[in-house]
């Protein structure tokens, strides 16, 4: 495998539509768009493999629960000898406005337990695709907010966003992070940008 794409979330149908599973959703959209093979179980996760523009990709969704995601990622990296620099992780971010996407390499976790776990196992020199879910309204506790399903109104920006990420994935795989982000903004502007 040339690259490892990782989506973060929690396993089980109970969690499938929750904000904390945005990483799982993004990876599923990419795998479907690019015709990846059937889902199997390996490396303590759900895996699919395929190619994007000739690059061999393993798509991994750790099934270890969020705070132990690094264990699954580490197993896959070691088995395929994928350098940490060729790992890309998709995850939800409270500190990013809803519907925005940011790509960066390294940096802190922002308190995200899945990222904390991967940092402990791999170090920080991997690419992160942050999917903004925004902060909870009012006094709602962040931990409860991320474990709630996306609302119907949120799905209006989430579904186009996931589709745009899937279509733009070849840019990300090619290392063209800025073009990836620009393409997403054009095809799926965040809610506030979409308003007149």
Domains of the chain and any CATH numbers? 3-194 (3.40.50.1470)
If pLDDT is split at 50, 70 and 90, which confidence band does 192 have?
confident
Distances in Å between the Cα of 75 and the Cα atoms of 7, 27, 71 are 15, 19, 6
Give the pLDDT of residue 140: 86
Give the pLDDT of residue 196: 34
If pLDDT is split at 50, 70 and 90, which confidence band does 171 have?
very high
Give the pLDDT of residue 139: 81
Report pTM.
0.96
Give the pLDDT of residue 118: 98
Share of residues in the chain with pLDDT > 70 (%): 98
Q: What average pLDDT does the segment 188-193 reach?
A: 81
Instruction: For residue 107, report the phi and psi dihedrals to the nearest 5 degrees.
Output: 100, -175
Render pLDDT for 20-74 as a digit per residue (tens, 0 to 9). Answer: 999 999 999 999 999 999 999 999 999 999 999 999 999 999 999 999 999 999 9
The maximal CA–CA distance of the chain, rounded, in angstroms, is 50
12 vs 24: CA distance, rounded Å = 11
Give the pLDDT of residue 4: 98
Tokens at 41, concatenated = 């179980």
- What is the average pLDDT value for the chain, to the nearest integer? 95
Which of 25-39, 47-61, 134-148, 169-183 has the least mean pLDDT?
134-148
Give the pLDDT of residue 138: 82
Which of 105-114, 127-136, 187-196 has the least mean pLDDT?
187-196
Asked if the model's pLDDT at residue 193 lies above 80, the reply is no
Asked if the model's pLDDT at residue 92 lies above 60, the reply is yes
Q: SS3 for 10?
A: coil
Residues with catalytic roles: 20
Asked if the model's pLDDT at residue 169 lies above 80, the reply is yes
Query: Interior CA angle at 139 toward 137 and 140, to 5°?
Result: 70
55 vs 174: CA distance, rounded Å = 9
Asked if the model's pLDDT at residue 195 lies above 60, the reply is no
């Amino acid at each position: 495998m040339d690259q490892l794409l990782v989506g973060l979330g929690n396993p089980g149908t109970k969690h499938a539509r929750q904000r904390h599973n945005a990483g799982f959703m993004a990876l599923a959209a990419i795998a479907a768009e690019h015709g990846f093979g059937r889902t199997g179980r390996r490396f303590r996760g759900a895996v699919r493999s395929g190619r994007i523009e000739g690059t061999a990709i393993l798509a991994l969704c750790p099934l270890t629960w969020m705070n132990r995601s690094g264990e699954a990622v580490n197993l896959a990296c070691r088995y395929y000898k994928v350098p940490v620099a060729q790992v890309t992780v998709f995850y939800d971010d409270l500190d990013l406005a809803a519907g925005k996407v940011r790509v960066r390499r390294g940096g802190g976790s922002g308190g995200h337990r899945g990222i904390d776990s991967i940092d402990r196992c791999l170090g920080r020199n991997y690419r992160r695709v942050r999917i903004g879910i925004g902060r909870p309204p009012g006094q709602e506790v962040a931990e409860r907010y991320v474990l709630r399903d996306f609302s119907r109104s949120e799905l209006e920006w989430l579904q186009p966003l996931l589709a745009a990420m899937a279509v733009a994935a070849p840019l990300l795989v090619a290392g063209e992070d800025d073009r990836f982000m620009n393409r997403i903004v054009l095809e799926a502007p965040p809610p506030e940008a979409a308003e007149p």
